[in-house]
Amino acid sequence: MRWRICWRWAAPEPAKASRRAVLTLKPSMSPGAPASCRLSYARSTTAIGLAIQADTQAGYHLSEKFARYFGVWREADGGQSVVFDPLFAKGTALPAPGGPPLERHRHYSAAHNVGHFRYLECSHLHENGQPAGDLTVWDDIRFPFDPALQGRGDLSAVPVSHLNGSTPPEIEEGYACDSSGTVMVTIANLTAGYDRHYRLGRWATPEAPIVPGRAVKRRKRAPRK
C-alpha cells in the first residue's frame, strides 16, 4: 500500500522554533481503500511519521508537500507598491529523497544597483494575492545588480539607487528545493557573467552569535565543624 504523508506546521511566533504538526495519511487510489486518515497528535505526529518512513519492509511510500506558500516580495507600479511572488505554492509536493529538486526561475531586467530580496511564507493568500494568515519571515539577502559592486560582500550599507546606463543588466533567479525542504537560491547577472549562491533558512532573524560558555567551577564546601 502506498501512503502520502502531508505535514502541516504552525508557528505561533516566528522567533520560536516550536511548531505543531498535523499528519495526514492518504493512500493511493485502490478498490476499498479509505479516502484518508488524519492524525492530530500535537506531540506524536513527527514520531509517527518517522517510524512509518523508517519501516522499509512494510511497503509504505511517503511523500511530503508544502503546507504554506513560500515566496518573495517584489516591487510593482514603478516602485510605488510591493507584491508577493509565490515561488512554491501551498500543496506543492516535495521531491522524493534522492530525486531531482523542484526548480523555479525568474528573468527580468534590473532597474537598481542592488537587489533586496525578502523571503517569507504564509498560510493563506488574499484574493489580491497578498500574504495572509500566519506569516513567517525567512532570509533577507542582497545581490549586486551593478557590476561595480560584485566584489563587495556586505551590501547592507550600500544605498539602493537606479542604475545609470542605456542597457539594464539581465538577471536570472534560480530556486531549487530538495526533499528536506531546503531552498537554494542562485542569482546571476547574465549580462556581466557572475552569480552568487545562497541557502535560505526559516526564522532567519538577525541575532547575536551564540558563544559557548565556559564550564562553571563548583565551589568547594567548607568542612563542617
In a domain, residue 148? The reply is: yes
Q: pLDDT per residue over 182-212, tens digit each? A: 899 999 999 999 999 999 875 444 433 333 4
Degrees to nearest 5, angle at CA 106 with 119 and 161: 70
Model-wide pTM > 0.75: no
- Give the mean model confidence (pLDDT) for residues 167-186: 92
13 and 78, same domain (yes or no): no
102 and 179, same domain (yes or no): yes
If pLDDT is split at 50, 70 and 90, which confidence band does 155 have?
Answer: very high
What's the CATH code of the domain at 174?
2.60.34.10
Query: What pLDDT was estimated at residue 165?
Result: 76
Buried/exposed 198-225: b ≥16 CB within 10 Å, e otherwise = eebebeeeeeeeeeeeeeeeeeeeeeee
- What is the spatial order of strands in the sheet that 69-76 belongs to? 81-88, 69-76, 114-125, 131-144
191 and 102, same domain (yes or no): yes
